[in-house]
Structure 1
Amino acid sequence: MPPSSRFHFHAGYGFALPAEDGSVRVGGMNLILTVFVILLLLKLLSSIGLDVLNMRHARAQSAEVPEAFRDFIDEPTYAKSIEYTVAKTRFGIVNDLYDAGILALVLLSGFLPWLYGQLTALLGYGVWGQALVLFATGILLSIPGMPFDWWSTFRLEERFGFNKSSLQLWIVDKFKGLLIGFIIGYPLLALLIFLVSAVGSLWWLWGFTVFFLFQLVMVVAYPMFIMPLFNKLEPMEDGELKTRLFNLAERTGFQAKTILVMDGSKRSGHSNAFFAGFGKFRRIVLFDTLIEQMEADELEAVLAHEIGHYKKGHIPQRIILSAVTTFLMFALIGWLANAAWFTEAFHFASESTQSIVPVLLLFMLLSGLVTFWLAPFSSLWSRKHEYEADAFARDAMGQPQSLSRALRKLHKENLSNLTPHPAYSGFYYSHPTLLEREAALFEAEAGQ
């Protein structure tokens, strides 16, 4: 019989008192919900505080182009980059407030256990039924965010000339993503739910193993089979540029079978380059917009930077970090699965503890309140890797000027914030700022 969808919630304030079910309550609100509200408010206030700090800092720099940038960006473009930063920040603040409100409503009102009860009554307690409940709930909870996704693409990005996508393409992309997610994710979720009942108390260890192996497979499969469903990835055409880039790969000891060009201009005017896969499946992908914007030596420097990530062992390091974080995540889920107070604190009836799905749903919704505070450490580690890849590119090119010009063009064409507040960039930026990267490049050259 499916769990009852009834729930009781009383707001109140007062001393911490034991409730009838044994949980600790603060007034009429149990302690777990109190902690949730505190964490949600701390994250929201910190995020908005950093946004406001960065926005004010950008405005303070808007009077004229800083001297360090005057040789590559004019006043209208610089002013537009400030305007873009302010517009994105305002949009982000509204989005954060909206997301926090939706999260609070879903978890404090009892809507989540009600939805779980309704879907379970419809789909059942079986492995495949519960997997479908989990997948469907995730889809339904993503719907409130769709208007912001649309606005970001067709209002914000359109306003600054970046959006190249049509409404039809945007809708098709959403359906493709949903279908691919279902084909891949549904059986994976069913396997996880099956493991809970099949292998005993150490199911979470088996779950970690399965999901980590899946991550390794996806590192290879995503660029080879999934990305082509959204974008064309074609080998670079023969010519001087291709010869030059392959010569670079050869002299740096990077065995490259092909360099792919992606039609990024199909959706956006933003430009980028990235490294995907590992081993013999590794691929370097250049956006077509990047090739249009840069000279041959600048593209060579960008490729040298991407090769630097490979040669410096950054890919295996990130895989190891992913393994550690995935292990800790499953260990925590395994512990919470045995803690009835966790699900009951969010109004799930005690009968629902026979399924792992409520725990997974709550973990999915709550984990961001904790991982938010880990962002500065992840950003710091990522910036270290970027400095190392920059240094490799400088050495491979024999000079820093080519990479410096490439970085300047990337920042200019993408209307990047050239003067972020140090607290904001330190918290969020996975790449050093332009001034930081150039300082490292040229200081190292001067010291040689």
Structure 2
Amino acid sequence: MPLVAWVVAGLIVLRLVADLILMSLNAAEVRRHAGRPPEAVAAVMDAETYAKSSIYTLEKSRFGMLTEVFDTLVLALVLFGGVLPPLYHLVIGLGAPGAAWAQALFILCAGILLSIPSLPFEWWDQFRLEQKFGFNKSTPGLWVADKIKGGLLACVIGFPLVWALLTLVRWMGGAWWLWGFALVLGVQLLMLVLYPKLILPLFNKLTPLPPGELRDRLLVLGERTGFRAKTIEVIDGSKRSGHSNAYFTGFGRFRRIVLFDTLVAQLTPEELEAVLAHEIGHYRRGHVPKMIAMSAVSLFVGFGVLAWLAGQPWFNQAFGFPAGEIAPSFLLFALLSGLVTFWFTPVANLLMRKYEYQADAFAREAMGGANPMVSALRKLAQKNLTNLTPHPLFSAFFYSHPTLVERERALRSAA
């Protein structure tokens, strides 16, 4: 086996070991507090709910470990078991030598093939684990329909995009990756506009928030904070899950606030106003353009690394592909990049947490105090059985938001 293949194998094992250690540390932390939660946690969640939350976290952790081991074995089999090169030669044989559409078809077929092994695990998570704790609201038919729609969207959007990238490689020579970066960035920006209008309605029903006290309060809040969304909409998240959420989507005149119907049912109008103030805080503090800029930088670096790797004969050859063929390089990069970017996750999460604190502070100012936001956060933690005692290392890698205790402390300290 070539040296680069050994290096990749080492990175795969290292990632698996890191994931298992982090999950084990987190599970141990939950068990340590299961009988006697910390004082700060006991103040925000009753003993019965905390016990249920601990059991939920531990069962999800055990299942997560099993899934991680399985996914790693699948990745190793795909990379080192000689699965992909025969598929590549079979698919590209359908077209003329170097045909971009055939190479794009190979990447699409490989993506579909790689998604199949995880389906039983996704099914078990939805209809066993989530069902056990009362979160699953989906049906087998809806679950299958979602998978089919997702696959069709991958074909409709992904295939033309990959074909365009492969065509740029042929037309633009050594500068192809700069054009490719510009193309993908443009598509990402376009999707910010199209997703809530064209894609989201394929899976969920969006309805304007009906007239009433809640709508009046939220409209007044928007006027008071200088935020005029195109619309405030309610999404029927309850047809799939009992979990609740709210988010800000789009930009410019296409921006909108989306509230889960579960959230509307769980919170009081004042608490929902605080949640909306938090989302407005992301807008007023400029978090959306900042995150777009960071994504663009990451994308630029990624394309640069991809272009360099694609120019190295050993990259393709280490995994059984012909040197100089760009489609295998695309696929290999997609499969392997996460082994490296994983280690930078704590840095990204640190920045995301900073943004969450800023949005919380904005909500506190908009509501004239910390109580409405604190009350909303407590209810959300209770309803979603949130783990309130994660291990610090696990939290650093897997939590883009501060914990409830951390957020409440920050809200209270500045009150």
* TM-score when normalising by structure 2: 0.98
Asked if the contact 2:87/2:106 (under 8 Å) is kept, the reply is: no
> 2:139 aligns to what?
166
> 1:62 aligns to what?
34
Q: Does 1:78 align with 2:50?
A: yes
> 2:162 aligns to what?
189
CA distances 1:215-247 after superposition (whole Å, capped 9, x unpaired)? 000011111110011001110000111000010
> 1:243 aligns to what?
216
> 1:336 aligns to what?
309
Greater than 4 Å deviation, 4+ residue runs? none
Q: Does 1:381 align with 2:333?
A: no
Q: Does 1:147 align with 2:120?
A: yes
| Aligned mates of 1:141, 1:70 — CA distance in 2 | 44
> 1:390 aligns to what?
360
**Match among 237, 260, 263 for residue 287 of structure 1:** 260
Note the residue ranges of structure 2 that are not aligned, 5 or more in a row: none
| Aligned mates of 2:44, 2:310 — CA distance in 1 | 56
Structure showing greater Rg: 1
Number of aligned residue pairs: give it: 414
**Match among 84, 91, 99 for residue 63 of structure 2:** 91
Asked if the contact 1:305/1:390 (under 8 Å) is kept, the reply is: yes
Q: Does 1:52 align with 2:24?
A: yes
Q: Does 1:312 align with 2:316?
A: no
> 2:369 aligns to what?
399
CA distances 1:339-383 after superposition (whole Å, capped 9, x unpaired)? 111101112134xx2x31010010011011001101101110100
Q: What SS does the corresponding residue of 1:139 show, helix, strand or coil?
A: helix
> 1:368 aligns to what?
338
Q: Does 1:429 align with 2:399?
A: yes
1:362 alignment partner AA: L
Asked if the contact 2:205/2:235 (under 8 Å) is kept, the reply is: yes
| Aligned mates of 1:40, 1:183 — CA distance in 2 | 31
- 1:5-154 paired onto structure 2 within 5 Å: 29-123=1-95, 125-154=98-127
Q: CA deviation at 1:123?
A: 4.9
Q: CA deviation at 1:66?
A: 3.5
Q: CA deviation at 1:72?
A: 4.5
> 1:357 aligns to what?
327
**Match among 395, 405, 409 for residue 379 of structure 2:** 409
Q: CA deviation at 1:64?
A: 3.3
2:21 alignment partner AA: G
| Aligned mates of 1:79, 1:66 — CA distance in 2 | 13
CA distances 1:133-179 after superposition (whole Å, capped 9, x unpaired)? 11111111111111111111111111111000000000001111111
2:386 alignment partner AA: S
| Aligned mates of 1:220, 1:86 — CA distance in 2 | 38
Q: CA deviation at 1:182?
A: 1.0
**Match among 230, 249, 253 for residue 276 of structure 1:** 249
Q: CA deviation at 1:187?
A: 1.0
Asked if the contact 2:41/2:405 (under 8 Å) is kept, the reply is: no
| Aligned mates of 2:285, 2:351 — CA distance in 1 | 14
Asked if the contact 1:259/1:284 (under 8 Å) is kept, the reply is: yes
Asked if the contact 2:244/2:380 (under 8 Å) is kept, the reply is: yes
> 2:388 aligns to what?
418
Structure 1 stretch displaced more, 107-116 or 169-178:
107-116
Asked if the contact 2:272/2:376 (under 8 Å) is kept, the reply is: yes
Q: CA deviation at 1:257?
A: 3.1
CA distances 1:37-81 after superposition (whole Å, capped 9, x unpaired)? 111111111111010000010011110344334454332211110
> 1:234 aligns to what?
207
Q: Does 1:267 align with 2:209?
A: no
2:2 alignment partner AA: N
2:278 alignment partner AA: H
| Aligned mates of 2:68, 2:95 — CA distance in 1 | 33
Note the residue ranges of structure 1 that are not aligned, 5 or more in a row: 1-28
| Aligned mates of 1:333, 1:72 — CA distance in 2 | 47
| Aligned mates of 1:316, 1:142 — CA distance in 2 | 32
- Taking every aligned residue pair, what percent have the same amino acid on both sides? 54
1:283 alignment partner AA: R
1:152 alignment partner AA: D
Superposition RMSD on alpha carbons, in Å? Answer: 1.1
1:359 alignment partner AA: S
Q: CA deviation at 1:180?
A: 1.4
1:64 alignment partner AA: R
Q: CA deviation at 1:337?
A: 1.6
* TM-score when normalising by structure 1: 0.91
